[in-house]
A = this chain, B = another copy of it.
């Protein structure tokens, strides 16, 4: 599929797709006879995984590292697993943090509700 079709599927812009490729997050995508990118389903799968990592706050730098490891095949499986485990821990910590902050938010909302009632 074309870059714009791929962009639509993964929920990124065509700009970003080209930029990801340039940044080494994605293998150079196949081209048609006119030099236009042709994305395969595997390309899209990879991009979807990247968007997940990105959404969880993984820096582009780490995503690139991961992409490099993936390119080197099975011998980097352990390293890739370690990278994911470390990231999972960060995501868990982040969820914990958000839940803490949510408590404060809820507390504040309660306070405001009480104050609003008292002002009637």
Contacts and interface: CB of A to CB of B under 8 A. Distances in A.
Contacts of A77: 112, 115-116, 119
Interface residues of A, number: 33
B95 A56 contact: no
Contact of A105 (B56, B99, B105, B106): B56
A102 B91 contact: yes
B112 A84 contact: yes
A75 to B, nearest CB: 9
Contact of A88 (B53, B84, B95, B102): B102
A97 interface: yes
Interface in A4-60: 49, 52-53, 55-56
Contacts of A116: 77-78, 81
A1 interface: no
Given A77-B112, A91-B98, A95-B99, 18 more contacts: A49-B104, A49-B108, A52-B104, A53-B101, A55-B101, A56-B101, A56-B102, A77-B119, A78-B112, A81-B112, A84-B105, A84-B108, A88-B106, A91-B101, A91-B105, A95-B98, A95-B102, A98-B98
